[in-house]
Amino acid sequence: MTASIIDPERAAAIDFSNDERARYSRHLIMPEVTLAGQRRLKAARVLCIGAGGLGSPSALYLAAAGVGTLGLVDNDRVELSNLQRQLLHGTSDVGRPKLESARDRLAAVNPNVQVQLHPARFASDNAQEIVADYDIVVDGSDNFPTRYLSSDVCVWARKPNIYGSVFRFDGQTTVFGPHLGGPCYRCLFPEPPPAGSVPNCAEAGVLGVLPGIIGTMQAIEAIKLIVGQGETLLGRLLHFDALKMKFREFKLRRDPECPVCGDHPSIMEPIDYEFFCGSHAADEAQDEADTIPEISVTELKSRMDAGEPLTLIDVREDYEYEIARIDGAHLLPLGQLRDRMEEIPRNGDVVIHCHSGMRSAHAVQLLQQAGYRNAANLIGGIDAWSREIDPTVPRY
Ligand SMILES: [Zn+2]
């Protein structure tokens, strides 16, 4: 059984108004919570990293549950494409800082909660100072540098770190806490994946409901650690496949050789996480990219306007072509390029585009390997075209 991570003296000093007793009555009558557990919740200080897909459900439910202090770190603004899953923000919030809409929404859910805003990117130079004020970290970040950083900082500060990640129909969550007998993020992933090998939500997509489920489970784990009930996911990774509607569980162990939480740690303070997670690989990719001819959207537009003959190839998928297209582009999805290469002329200029320029760079490389010398990559893809040239082309 889990022991509460909240200092008993702090919890004992907590009192409730009659309104609060009514608000939390469904908790108070649960033998696993009671007034004692609710006091721990009100005494608790939880930090949510990110006010996005995972941070939205965790923060909303933790606020509703009566967590006394909720910290939020984020420095993004609300975009239209966030609203499909980030329920802290509404349509009228588009363009506002996420922390402002989050603060308003959480105050509407439960005005008894102290919401502390950290309008910054969670980074090596502020992470330890921010985490120091909290009992638990709920990591709702969507990138590897932040996950390594938040895990490392929690190991050093001896605070549980509740991990969550989502990808299309798949999600996973666990609780990291070497001081509680579990592993840390580095025990699981000693090395980050090669830069660019794992697409994020913007590149790969995510079912909007999925972070709702994973983020809600992160909130449950936080509540169990605070109240001191049940068995947490410490030492277990829970994987959820929404397409099959199946949960699977994997055992995790602390690695005694882990450079952060192991028996002989070699990393004792924040490192350069961007570098660790691939700026080196990104440099290599840049060297490769340097050999790929490129064209900007403005240059393409002026050449098209001048009536210059050129072939525009769109290597996105057909369902992306349905959403938005550049007039005159010929659709040839990247996966079919090898088999349909003869459709691309070897003479005259060929411009290849995709959504943001990554897949099309790869396509130009494939063409170069096949002897093509006339293909160039459209920098920024159709997204740049929509932003800079033709706003009637929908962004996605
Ligand atoms: Zn470790």
345-349's contacts with Cβ under 8 Å and 24+ in sequence apart are 345/311, 345/374, 346/371, 346/372, 346/374, 347/374, 348/309, 348/310, 348/311, 348/374, 349/308, 349/309, 349/310, 349/311, 349/374, 349/376
154 catalytic per annotation: no
Write down the number of H helices and E strands in the chain.
17, 13
- Say how many Å lie between the CA of residue 191 and the centre of ligand 1: 12
**Residue 319: predicted pLDDT:** 83
Q: What is the DSSP letter of 336?
A: G
- Say how many Å lie between the CA of residue 177 and the centre of ligand 1: 9
| Sequence letter at residue 96 | R
Provide mean pLDDT across the span 226-252. 96
Dihedral sign, Cα of residue 50, residue 53, residue 56, residue 57:
negative
Q: Return the bridge partners of 172, or none.
A: 165, 239
pLDDT tier for residue 277 given thresholds of 50, 70 and 90: confident
**Residue 196: predicted pLDDT:** 66
Whether residue 290 has pLDDT greater than 90: no
Whether residue 180 has pLDDT greater than 90: yes
Query: Measured in Å, how far apart are the chain's first and last C-alpha atoms?
Result: 46
Q: What is the pLDDT of residues 4-39, one digit of tens each?
A: 999 999 999 999 999 999 999 999 999 999 999 999
- Say how many Å lie between the CA of residue 149 and the centre of ligand 1: 12
Supply the pTM of this predicted model: 0.80
| Sequence letter at residue 84 | Q
pLDDT tier for residue 192 given thresholds of 50, 70 and 90: confident
**Residue 320: predicted pLDDT:** 87
**Residue 225: predicted pLDDT:** 98
Residue whose C-alpha is closest to residue 333's, from 296, 361, 308, 360:
360
- Say how many Å lie between the CA of residue 263 and the centre of ligand 1: 10
- Say how many Å lie between the CA of residue 142 and the centre of ligand 1: 20
Q: What is the pLDDT of residues 61-99, one digit of tens each?
A: 999 999 999 999 999 999 999 999 999 999 999 999 999
> Cα separation of 220 and 222, whole Å?
5
Neighbours of 197 (CB within 10 A): 9
Whether residue 383 has pLDDT greater than 70: yes
What are the DSSP calls for 244-281, one per residue?
A: TTEEEEEE----TT-TTTSSS-S--S---HHIIIIIHH
Are 312 and 351 in contact by the 8 Å Cβ rule? The answer is yes
CA torsion, points 137, 141, 144, 149, in degrees to nearest 10? -30
What are the DSSP calls for 57-104, one per residue?
A: HHHHHHHHHT-SEEEEE---B--GGGTTT-TT--GGGTTSBHHHHHHH
Choosing from 201, 258, 261, 277, the catalytic residue is 201
Provide mean pLDDT across the span 121-144. 97
- Say how many Å lie between the CA of residue 169 and the centre of ligand 1: 28
Residue whose C-alpha is closest to residue 48's, from 150, 123, 200:
150
What mean pLDDT is reported for the chain? 93
Dihedral sign, Cα of residue 77, residue 80, residue 85, residue 90:
positive
- Say how many Å lie between the CA of residue 122 and the centre of ligand 1: 20
277 catalytic per annotation: no
Whether residue 353 has pLDDT greater than 60: yes
- Say how many Å lie between the CA of residue 126 and the centre of ligand 1: 21
Provide mean pLDDT across the span 154-161. 98
- Say how many Å lie between the CA of residue 197 and the centre of ligand 1: 23
CA torsion, points 316, 214, 170, 78, in degrees to nearest 10? 0
Residue whose C-alpha is closest to residue 103's, from 113, 94, 95:
113
Whether residue 286 has pLDDT greater than 60: no
- Say how many Å lie between the CA of residue 58 and the centre of ligand 1: 25
**Residue 194: predicted pLDDT:** 74
**Residue 204: predicted pLDDT:** 80
User: What 3 state SS string does 159-182 have?
Assistant: CCEEEEEEEECEEEEEEECHHHCC
